[in-house]
Amino acid sequence: MPCAPGLFRPKGDNFALGVNKFSQGIGDFLAPASGTPRLPGGRGGRTLGRMAQARPRPRPRRIAIADDSPAFVSAVSTYVESLPGYELAGTARTSVQAMELVEAQLPDVLLLDLGLPPMRGLDFVRRLKALPGGPAVVAMTLFHTPEAAAEARRAGADALVGKEAFVSGLNQALAKLFPAAA
């Protein structure tokens, strides 16, 4: 379908004139006489530089996943990557790999399957919590029960999430761990 003449195809000096007017308008907005970019609104407006300094962008919270089920790790990885303010720090399939991951990547949170081989469960939680500057540990079990939650807390886990209701459980755990991010 042909364009209206002169609408999309520049003709002669009309194009140059339009570009110059556009450039002048943008230049007036971005670089006023004072040399400091200002937002529109007249005198006393906030400068763009002050706005950028007023709200520094927070560093995303890093989450690592340690579970021996590839399908579960894949699903959780996808979910973590979709959470605003969070990023995936890595995954591990054994407790040995999980320890290496924690030491190398320094995640803020480790999602830990309590059945992860070879060092299982609560002993591994205790070992992780003994690390200086170690991550928050969100223990994961197949089903969340009050007994499992009490045992996980005694071992030092920051939260327990049942895999049967993982998304809501993780959201609650993260809101508790990082109230400002919720």
Q: Is residue 72, in this structure, part of any structural domain at all?
A: yes
pLDDT tens digits, one per residue of 137-154 = 999 999 888 999 999 999
Q: Is residue 1, in this structure, part of any structural domain at all?
A: no
Range of the domain at 46: 12-54
Lowest mean pLDDT among 10-14, 99-103, 171-175: 10-14
Q: Look at the block and give the residue holding tokens 């990023």.
A: 87
What pLDDT score does 95 carry?
Answer: 94
Same domain, 135 and 176: yes
Cα separation of 155 and 96, whole Å? 19
- Whole-model pTM: value is 0.68
Q: Which phi and psi angles does 173 have, rounded to 5°?
A: -65, -45
- Residues of the chain with pLDDT > 90, as a percent, come to 58
| CATH number of the domain where residue 157 is located | 3.40.50.2300
Rounded average pLDDT over 99-110? 96
Same domain, 49 and 117: no
Same domain, 119 and 76: yes
Q: Is the link from the previous residue into 118 a cis peptide, with omega within 30 of 0?
A: yes
Give the rounded distance of the alpha carbon of 142 from its chain centre.
Answer: 25
Q: Is residue 70, in this structure, part of any structural domain at all?
A: yes
pLDDT tens digits, one per residue of 24-75 = 443 443 444 445 444 444 454 444 455 445 567 788 999 999 999 999 999 9
Give the rounded distance of the alpha carbon of 34 from its chain centre.
Answer: 38
Same domain, 42 and 74: no
Same domain, 40 and 118: no
Q: Is residue 3, in this structure, part of any structural domain at all?
A: no
**Which CA distances in Å does 78 have to 88, 90, 93, 157, 158?**
9, 12, 16, 23, 23
Q: Is the pLDDT of residue 167 over 50?
A: yes
**Count of structural domains within the chain:** 2
Can you read off the two tokens belonging to residue 85? 């303010």
Same domain, 25 and 72: no
Same domain, 73 and 18: no
Same domain, 45 and 103: no
Q: Max alpha carbon distance in the chain (Å)?
A: 80
Can you read off the two tokens belonging to residue 15? 């194009």
Q: How far apart are the first and last CA of the chain?
A: 50
Q: Is the pLDDT of residue 80 over 60?
A: yes
Same domain, 65 and 50: no
Lowest mean pLDDT among 10-19, 93-102, 110-119: 10-19
Q: Is residue 91, in this structure, part of any structural domain at all?
A: yes
Q: Is residue 44, in this structure, part of any structural domain at all?
A: yes
What pLDDT score does 120 carry?
Answer: 77
Is the distance from CB of 136 to CB of 109 less than 8 angstroms?
yes
